[in-house]
Amino acid sequence: MQQIWRRFNGERIHIPIHDEVENAIKRETAKGHNLKVCIGTDSQVRGKVVEYATVIVFLRERQGGFMFIHNSKLEQKQSIKERMLMEVGMSIDIAYRLCDLFDKYNIDMEIHADINTNPQFKSNVALNEAVGYILGMGFAFKAKPDAFASSSCANKVV
């Protein structure tokens, strides 16, 4: 099943996300922009449904940025730990599918986990597993408060 992706303005992306990301990389590098990509997922529980938003954020060095968004829903009761690891898994899934492009075009990419490094917060219960999962897949990562792709960008569109 192909995921439905869109731009921040709501415009639907009609080609596979891999192709759209490559087009964006070619377009932006042709304009002379140095790019960095941050991938993150956030979720919100609404009744019995968990809504997720995964974002691919492109940062242009000193020139702003843009993002692609994918929303999904899951009707399943989850603990906070399960939900945090599901978010990380969704981010890793898309990063894994796109990492050949980032390697090909020499673009730095990191996973942003919406997990707090402060043990006083509930999401911290998933920190060790999330870090192991992300690093085990060979990706760089950031957690809160530095994980803006998940805690700010995805949070706005979930």
* 43-60 residue pLDDT tens: 999 998 999 999 999 999
pTM, 2 dp? 0.94
pLDDT single digits (tens) 6-43: 999 999 999 999 999 999 999 999 999 999 999 999 99
Q: How many domains does the chain have?
A: 1
As a whole number, mean pLDDT of residues 123-131 equals: 92
Q: Which H helix or E strand runs over 42?
A: strand 35-46
Q: What is the pLDDT of residue 1?
A: 55
pLDDT of residue 2 exceeding 90? no
Strands lying side by side in the sheet with 108-116: 12-13, 5-7, 65-74, 49-60, 35-46, 108-116, 140-144
- Quick one: pLDDT band at residue 85, thresholds 50, 70, 90? very high
Answer yes or no: are the C-beta atoms of 8 and 67 closer than 8 Å. yes
Name the β-bridge partners of 35. Answer: 60
Q: Which domain holds residue 33?
A: 5-157
As a whole number, mean pLDDT of residues 116-127 equals: 90
Look at residue 26 and give its three-state secondary structure. Answer: helix
